[in-house]
Chain A
Amino acid sequence: MTDLSPLFDPKGVLVAGASTHPGKFGFVVLHNILSCGYRGNVFATNLEGESVLGVTTFRDANELPDDSIDLVFVCTPAAANVELLRACAAKGAKAAFVTSAGYGETGEEGRALEQELAAVAAELGMILAGPNGQGVISTPSSLCAQIVAPYPPAGRIGIASQSGNFVSSFQNLARQTGVGVSRSVSVGNAAVLAVPDYFDYLAADPATSVTLAYVETVTDGRAFFERARATTARQPLVVLKGGTSDEGRHAAASHTGALASDEKVFAGMCRQAGITQAATVEEAYEAAATFATQPLPQGPNVVVITTAGGWGVVAADAIARSSLTLIPLPADLRDEIDELLPPRWSRSNPVDLAGGETRDTIPLVIEKVAAHPDVHALLQLGIGIQSNEARMMRTGEYYPDHGLERIVGFHEAQDARYARVAAEVSAATGKPILVATELAVSDPDNAGPAAVRDAGRVCYWSANRAVTALDHLWRYARFRVRTDT
């Protein structure tokens, strides 16, 4: 296994080809490294030796102090880069991220340059990421060596992507959900390191608890399978696959082959390797974020707790379509909840409180349901309703009189409390408790979803999305039970 720490946790970085023009990548990456709090040495080269963002530049990498950097971030033209790698290696650099274009993506000549670059890196014993990639981030080192925004919050999701745009998408979703990233890398043309080549490092990385990958082409299917299998034995691996082709199907003469679309073979391989395959970018991110923040369920049994009927009904439908089970409410649990609510509550699963709750009902119901040994996971719906009314009151013309100030404060404190209780009870019982409301997107500052985020968890946009994420957790938990023997 290649030790990729010089790429992700370098003691110093050289930006080769720093520019004074704020529209150029050579400026942007230096700006991003400096402004996101990287604590190592930062150097830059520039043909004119001009100062960029207060950093004194060298004209040539040969002028660098010895052993001051591990990583060179390459923005210089393809033709200059072989010499650059040699100079950086001589100064002790162990890794290069090449963002420069003009390689394999441009045709035959570019492919030759790319092969030469790879050969030189191998000769120098240098890690080579890219070329034509958008960068690398590593929150344990506060490193944002990227030619694009954003810099995501710190977290435990490690990302390797064949598309730089999807790195940005995942990082944007990290900002939106508040569930952050440990490392991320855009593999670019993958001259040396392709997406699966990052799996071993991320699986062994103490800062990473789940790997999230976007893949288009798989050059060596067996190697991909073996690496994925080694990863899923340690931690979840979520894969979003793009670019399905029918190559396999066309080549087949047999009936078996006629059924063998690339998509089906890939999907089967994923199930066999314990990969969590997601269909969309949001499904992929939410699966990874759920793995990163919730315990794995020990069984399929879900109880839905809702403050109103319709949400529970649709959630139940979603559970019926999944590998999860909406269990009949155990009689002893029903009796316990009977003590807490007026008789109009559903007395079944989904537990529909039917508006019968008072100050402490929701936290108590969550605690009792989660404590029951037959229940493996909870889905909590209806958070934020009170704070939504509070927003109307606060922004209406009667505020703060007529008792509105007091009730607004009460509502918001209650919603925040529900979110806190969900996270605390989940941690205490080791059972996943997922909270869903569309307010997470329509009004993210609502005290309910805001408190879910503050608790470090995802507030799902809908019960369906929460069920999809929980289904992924249960499938992976089953895979581990099946294979950890």
Chain B
Amino acid sequence: MTRTFSEHESIALVARYGVPVAEERRADNPDDAAAAADAVGYPVVVKLHGDAIAHKTERGLVRLGLADAEGVRVAAADLLALATVDDGVVDLVVAPMVRGARELIAGVHTDPQFGRCVMLGVGGVLTEALGDAAFRLVPITAADADDMLDELRSQALLGPVRGEPAVDRAAVRVVLLALSALAEGEPAVRSVDLNPLIVCDGRPIAVDALVEVR
């Protein structure tokens, strides 16, 4: 049997191992959400959050690019109204909007033959169609992490793109080594998704995470 951590728990776990994440605040109601947004700075993203909620984007439970307190209040009220009985106890997560033209995906996967692996791939809505991803068995070295970047087919995407600097290889290495350390340190973890890992000024930041445990 497996179960998944809530987004907030997932983000907290990967952050503890050194994955750079967007600063998140919790709120129970629209006014608190607006106050949280004031604190982290606009624009923000507001998401409905609950232990039983996994695939938020697919359900429309994420509101992006909210520019002011009023917008946050409206979005927060909408999201709370979308909660179903199955979702259990819910609240809101408010985080600064991380912007970047490129999205990567990284994670941990338990392979039936080789056991736990660290993964790095090209992210975004076409992730699965592109299938551009590299895997290494846990634990990985810094050299393995660098070689994973080299293995991706979409090398042009890793260079300077649309006014943004090239992807910072050292910063990607930090993410992959953190995932490897997490897999070693948390034997119950079956899978981790950092999706998307938005490349902001060349540095990857995890804006969503999903951890699955045995």
- B113 and A260 form a contact (CB under 8 A): no
Contacting residues, chain A, for B72 (C-beta < 8 A): none
Interfacial residues of chain A within 447-485, with CB under 8 A of chain B in the complex:
482-483
- B109 and A256 form a contact (CB under 8 A): yes
- A268 and B136 form a contact (CB under 8 A): yes
Bound complex: CA A257 to CA B135 (Å): 10
Q: Which residue of B lies closest to A272 (CB)?
A: B136
Please tell me which one of the listed residues A221, A258, A259, A264 contacts residue B113 in the complex, with CB atoms under 8 A apart. A221
Shortest Cβ gap from A223 to chain B (Å): 10
- B105 and A255 form a contact (CB under 8 A): yes
- B137 and A225 form a contact (CB under 8 A): yes
Shortest Cβ gap from A476 to chain B (Å): 13
Interfacial residues of chain A within 352-401, with CB under 8 A of chain B in the complex:
none
- B128 and A255 form a contact (CB under 8 A): yes
Contacting residues, chain A, for B193 (C-beta < 8 A): 254-256
Please tell me which one of the listed residues B107, B128, B135, B148 contacts residue A269 in the complex, with CB atoms under 8 A apart. B135
Shortest Cβ gap from B23 to chain A (Å): 23
Contacting residues, chain B, for A482 (C-beta < 8 A): 143
Interfacial residues of chain B within 122-157, with CB under 8 A of chain A in the complex:
127-128, 131, 133-137, 140, 143-144, 147-148, 151
Shortest Cβ gap from B62 to chain A (Å): 15
- Whether a CB of chain B sits under 8 angstroms from the CB of A314 is no
- A256 and B119 form a contact (CB under 8 A): yes
Contacting residues, chain A, for B184 (C-beta < 8 A): none
Q: Which residue of A lies closest to B55 (CB)?
A: A255
Bound complex: CA A221 to CA B140 (Å): 16
- Which of A248, A258, A268 has the largest number of chain B CB atoms within 10 A? A268
Bound complex: CA A271 to CA B117 (Å): 13
- Whether a CB of chain A sits under 8 angstroms from the CB of B121 is yes
Shortest Cβ gap from B15 to chain A (Å): 18
Contacting residues, chain A, for B128 (C-beta < 8 A): 255, 258-259
Bound complex: CA A225 to CA B144 (Å): 14
Contacting residues, chain A, for B151 (C-beta < 8 A): 268, 271
Shortest Cβ gap from A48 to chain B (Å): 48
By secondary structure, the B interface counts as strand
Contacting residues, chain B, for A248 (C-beta < 8 A): 111-113
- B114 and A222 form a contact (CB under 8 A): yes
Shortest Cβ gap from A473 to chain B (Å): 17
Given contacts A221-B115, A247-B112, A265-B117, contact A256 B137 (CB under 8 A): no
Shortest Cβ gap from B130 to chain A (Å): 9
- B136 and A269 form a contact (CB under 8 A): yes
Contacting residues, chain B, for A259 (C-beta < 8 A): 105, 119, 121, 127-128, 131, 133
- Whether a CB of chain B sits under 8 angstroms from the CB of A53 is no
Given contacts A221-B113, A483-B143, contact A253 B212 (CB under 8 A): yes
Interfacial residues of chain A within 238-275, with CB under 8 A of chain B in the complex:
247-248, 251-262, 264-269, 271-272
Interfacial residues of chain B within 95-110, with CB under 8 A of chain A in the complex:
105-110
- A257 and B191 form a contact (CB under 8 A): yes
Interfacial residues of chain B within 198-212, with CB under 8 A of chain A in the complex:
210, 212
- Whether a CB of chain B sits under 8 angstroms from the CB of A218 is yes
Bound complex: CA A135 to CA B212 (Å): 47
- A256 and B107 form a contact (CB under 8 A): yes
- Whether a CB of chain A sits under 8 angstroms from the CB of B192 is yes
Contacting residues, chain A, for B140 (C-beta < 8 A): 272
Please tell me which one of the listed residues B113, B143, B191 contacts residue A256 in the complex, with CB atoms under 8 A apart. B191
Bound complex: CA A392 to CA B190 (Å): 68
Contacting residues, chain A, for B112 (C-beta < 8 A): 247-248, 251
Please tell me which one of the listed residues A251, A260, A483 contacts residue B117 in the complex, with CB atoms under 8 A apart. A260
Bound complex: CA A272 to CA B147 (Å): 8
Q: Which residue of A lies closest to B140 (CB)?
A: A272
- A218 and B117 form a contact (CB under 8 A): no
Shortest Cβ gap from B141 to chain A (Å): 9
- A269 and B131 form a contact (CB under 8 A): no
Please tell me which one of the listed residues B114, B144, B192, B195 contacts residue A221 in the complex, with CB atoms under 8 A apart. B114
Contacting residues, chain B, for A258 (C-beta < 8 A): 128
- A265 and B111 form a contact (CB under 8 A): yes
Contacting residues, chain B, for A269 (C-beta < 8 A): 114, 135-137
Please tell me which one of the listed residues A247, A257, A271, A483 contacts residue B109 in the complex, with CB atoms under 8 A apart. A257
Question: Could you jot down 7 A-B contacts, CB within 8 Å?
Answer: A248-B111, A248-B113, A259-B105, A260-B111, A260-B135, A268-B148, A482-B143
State the B residues within 8 Å of A (CB): 2, 105-115, 117, 119, 121, 127-128, 131, 133-137, 140, 143-144, 147-148, 151, 191-193, 195, 210, 212
